[in-house]
Structure 1
Amino acid sequence: MSLISRMSAATAVHETAELVDLLLRDPHRPGRPDLLAVPDGPSPTGPSPTGPQTVPLLPPGPIGIGTSAARILLPEAPRRTGTLAGTAPAARVSSSARAMPRIPTAPPGPGYTGSGAAPVDGGSPVPVLYCPPAVRDDPALGEEVDDRLVEWAAEVGVYPGQLDRVRSAGFGRLIMLAHPETSDPDRLLAAAKCALAEWSVDDHYVDGEVEEARPELLGQRLAIAHSVIDQAHLPLKYAPQLEEVVRADPVMVALRSSLDNLAKIGSHAQVRRLRHELGIMFVAYNQEAVWATTGQRPPMWEFLMHRHENSFVPCMALIDTLAGYELPQEEFADPRVRRVFTMAGSATVIVNDLYSMAKEDPSDFSVPRLIATEEGCSEREAIERTVLLHDELMRTYEAEAAALALTGSPELRRFLAGVWAWTGGSREWHASSGRYHGTGTSAS
């Protein structure tokens, strides 16, 4: 089920819907508001020469269910100095920390205790998603981005006759919540255009929300669309034929327009990074076509692998671009950074799976529904087990990203903190959806 259809589908009225509602609207945000903030209490190494809030007090390693294996698999830091080395020059770290702009610390949400204790409703505990609070919420800014995003969607031709659905989804609000380091509507709109273009591939080609889905033709359509993402350069005799096909397809027009717009604020390397992430997502879309044409119901391990490839990672890859700095490619490509980055992406899309459980058809695939089928448990138990999977990913990110921040560049530390803030903003978007919760707000 595509993201736009999840956002605009009617909410089912049953016990599962009520549980998901309680889960998402729970005011507890047990994750630390700032990934790099020093926890309360004296530091075991004494006071920092540059003041508090720069170096985290680390857990002993990954924590949560199943992370004993993660401790074994986590690569050791290389025994050298410099970027992501085992040690970093103290003078460089302290001066960079003073100069580096920081994401403002998010205020704890209502009812925040920092303990992660589950709230109780009628004597029945509701599982708690381990996630930080959103850093900021500026409804007017989100609405401005939404208005401009809908105008752009009309210009490029995606979602014809469905622009009200695009507006009600509140994607501008998502981008506003998830990228708190900028309040520039132009920069936020650039990210929103990329996101909507990405999701239009799913809605037009895969799930048939806008036009008829043709699984047997999906590979061909994605290959042509990929020629826009990674521009194909054909001999002069044939290039016009490809260009004619591209210009006639609104999805390809949207992809090209969004990437061209992003290039105005990002470097070549940053735009190339997004192109790479979209190529991975296209592979995952082809996997869905196989399930559709063969009638397969994927096992959990395969679907979680699919979620690794089909998540919010392309949106999250723009964190530094929107904030106005650049994470060096050497660090972004480091396997340890890639590991935690994609884990955070998987965690955010699991939240979306939980959100959609009360809205989608029982035949649609999602983490909780597949758990219920594979493990033969109730929907409530499947939700609880899905929350545990989400929390394992989030706690592992928190521990390993904090460790990487100790020896990485100032840009890496800022980027990892930005990813943490992104997860909080995304959770808040899902939690405050006006269409879903009936509050009458502009969000989804």
Structure 2
Amino acid sequence: MPDPGLSPLQSSLPAAAARFGAHVLAEALAHGRGSAEPAGAAAALPSPPTLPFGRAPGAQEVPVGVPVPDGGPSPAMERILRGPGGLGTAGLSLARRPEPPAPGAPDAEARPEPAAGSRPIPGLYHHPVPEPDPARVEEVSRRIKRWAVDEVQAFPPEWEDQFDGFSVSRYMVACHPDAPTVDHLMVAARLMVAENVVDDAYCEDGATPADVGGRLLLAHTALDPVHTTGEYQPAWEESLSSDAARRSYRSAMDYFVQVATPAQADRFRHDMARLHMGYLAEAAWDETEYLPEVWEYLAMRQFNNFRPCPTITDTVGGYELPADLHAVPAMQRVIALAGNATTISNDLYSYMKELKSPGRHLNLPVVIAEKEGLSDKEAYLKAIEVHNDLMHEFEDAAAALAVACPDPRVARFLKGVAAWVDGNHYWHASNTYRYTLPDFW
């Protein structure tokens, strides 16, 4: 892992990364300078890009505990407006440059067209992304299949179609456009597959709610090693290869720690513990046939959600957001909102798939319909509104943090999280193998 220093940007970072997540940072830059500038101030700095959305964080939304620049732009803010410096970082500029682009160069501010074959949910707030790099998709697909089949035996032969239909390679390439190498993308791909193996094997296919707790705890030890006596250590180590879930977790984590710093690895373990706690809550409700209130369901979904995926965006990007910046409450809010919004998006895209599955599956439209006495259609449309509100909260919080904490590492991490949110929606909307939409329009 390279020393992040003050400017951790990789010279091999694809210029396309600048097009992802810019809608969040452009908002911050547009509103961070204030409207009452002294005469001549406007000429001192280039104008920010045109905003694709209009909501602006108010003064009361600036995070508590984060230093706020007073008056005009601080030197750090000017540095962000100019964009990062150094070899290979020109594509990360956050401000429009005065010189025209080279002939034939792509417009970094242009809105990409929806992916071919994509079917976004009508009315769902999202940002289209370009098709992921096909060469990277093909290579990740080849490597992840080989890992899943040969290294960890992640699924039985009869699940092969489902594994291929999951399209994890397109998913990860879309979510991590700034990954410097395919090896970095593979870090995310292995973890994604492993998390889904655990969910399928322990929480879905044939699992009983009463079994979930003990099995999850033992699987978690593949991520967070047991430290015990010499007499009992071998038995624990042997258990790590006893089923596909633990084999997948252990192998994926072994690869992850080779490129992650100790702080990044510990952060990921903590977020996986959050995920497992959410699994336990849902299993307990299933066991007791408890139907949560809408707010209780949303609280559970803050834990049983995608958070472990965007929280590793810096590791996959080949740099580190230091632990003290990651732990700032305002950053924690941004990450939580990103996880919450993308998870409700999953509820909406999975709605028909879950209706066709045996038993009752809790998702936001189902809970809203039963708790608020709405029709299925009314509940689904209200769930879309909840998602959209969460997305706006996420973008407002990210924009406020970018202004209040003008550190280039924070800016890059926020951009990476926004890219993950957009890529996650792209995958759901374009994965017609897994998802169909209800006939509500």
| TM-score range relative to shorter protein | 0.7 to 0.9
* Counterpart in the other structure of 2:244: 250
Counterpart pick for 2:337 among 332, 343, 358? 343
Amino acid at match of 1:92: A
> For residue 198 of structure 1, what is the aligned residue in structure 2?
195
Q: Secondary structure at the match of 1:264?
A: helix
Contact 1:103 1:180 in 2 (8 A): no
Query: Which residue of the other structure, out of 68, 78, 85, is the alignment partner of 1:94?
Result: 78
- Listed one character per residue, the Cα deviations across residues 346-403 of structure 1 (whole Å, up to 9, x for unaligned) are 1101111111112212721111111111112122211211111111111111112111
Amino acid in the other structure paired with 1:330: D
Q: Which residue of 2 aligns with 1:85?
A: 67
CA distance 1:268–1:50, shift in 2 (3 Å): farther
Letter in 1 for 2:123: V
Tell me, in whole angstroms, the C-alpha distance in 1 between the residues paired with 2:325 and 2:50. 19
**Whole-Å Cα distance in 2 between the matches of residues 156 and 77 of structure 1?**
45
Aligned twin of 1:158:
154
Equivalent residue, structure 2, for 1:422: 420
1:225 aligns with 2:222: no
Which residue of structure 2 lines up, in the alignment, with residue 131 of structure 1? 126
2:24 to 35, 56, 68: 35
2:143 maps to which of 144, 148, 173: 148
1:387 to 384, 388, 396: 384
SS in 2 for 1:387: helix
Opposite residue 391 of structure 2, the aligned amino acid is M
Provide the secondary structure at the position in 2 that maps to 1:36.
helix
Identity rate, percent: 32
- Structure 2 counterpart of 1:353, which letter? D
Shift of 1:133: 2.1
Match for residue 185 of structure 1? Answer: 182
1:339-418 pair list within 5 angstroms: 339-361=333-355, 363-408=360-405, 409-418=407-416
In the aligned structure 2, how far is the partner of 1:193 from the partner of 1:301? 33
The TM-score, its normalising length taken from structure 1, stands at: 0.77
Q: Please say if 1:109 is aligned against 2:96.
A: no
Amino acid at match of 2:225: Q
Question: 1:179 deviation in Å?
Answer: 0.8
Q: Please tell me whether the aligned partners of residues 55 and 406 of structure 1 are also in contact (alpha carbons under 8 angstroms).
A: no
Q: How many aligned residue pairs are there?
A: 378
Equivalent position SS for 2:26? coil
Alpha-carbon distance between aligned partners in 2 of 1:244 and 1:422, rounded to the nearest angstrom: 36
The residue correspondences of 1:13-28 to structure 2 (distance < 5 A) are none
Separation in 2, partners of 1:48, 1:168? 52
Which segments of 5 or more consecutive residues in structure 1 lack a partner in the other structure? 1-30, 63-70, 79-83, 113-125, 439-444
What is the rounded CA distance, in whole Å, between the counterparts of 2:238 and 2:30 in structure 1?
61
Instruction: Check the 8 A contact 2:21/2:414 in 1, yes or no.
Output: no
Q: For residue 119 of structure 1, what is the aligned residue in structure 2?
A: none
Q: Distance in 1 between matches of 2:187 and 2:385?
A: 34
**1:233 counterpart SS class:** coil
User: Structure 2 CA distance, aligned partners of 1:432 and 1:367?
Assistant: 21
Contact 1:33-1:132 at 8 Å conserved across structures: no
Q: Which sits farther off after the overlay, 349-358 or 138-147?
A: 138-147
SS at match of 2:23: coil
2:175–2:424 Cα contact (<8 Å) kept? yes
The gaps in structure 2 that reach 5 residues or longer are: 1-19, 94-107, 116-120, 437-441
Shift of 1:182: 2.1
Tell me which amino acid in the other structure corresponds to 2:111. P
- CA pair 195-111 structure 1, distance change in 2 beyond 3 A: closer
The 2-side partners of 1:434 and 1:143 are apart by 19
How far has the Cα of 1:184 moved from its partner? Answer: 2.0
Deviation at 1:127, TM superposition (A): 4.6
Counterpart in the other structure of 2:57:
61
Offset at residue 275 of structure 1 (A): 0.9
Letter in 1 for 2:154: V
